[in-house]
Amino acid sequence: MTNWVLETIGLLVTTIGALIAFLHLHRTSREMTVIPAECAPLARDRRLLMITMGLMAGWFIIQYVGLLIT
């Protein structure tokens, strides 16, 4: 019983952390309207990081829902 509760809490905290990171990246990327030419690689990396965090957050949500259903 204790193991199941700890796994659920750990998955919930990881999911919330991934969602917060994704939402922060998404919000700050919309605020960056004018990007200097030397910062273009940084903007590309931010987009890739935002996609990665979004996929991770989605996968953690699917796992959490699956854990609650079973």
Break the chain into its structural domains and give their ranges.
Answer: 2-29+40-69
Q: Cβ neighbours of residue 8 under 8 Å, at least 6 residues apart?
A: 64, 67, 68
Is 80 exceeded by the pLDDT of residue 61?
yes
pLDDT at residue 44 in the model: 78
Tallying the residues shown for the chain, one arrives at 70
Instruction: With beta carbons less than 8 A apart as the criterion, state whether 18 and 55 touch.
Output: no
Instruction: With beta carbons less than 8 A apart as the criterion, state whether 33 and 2 touch.
Output: no
Q: Tokens for 58?
A: 């989605």
pLDDT at residue 4 in the model: 77
pTM for this model (two decimals): 0.66
Residue (of 4, 22, 2, 25) closest to 14 by Cα position:
22
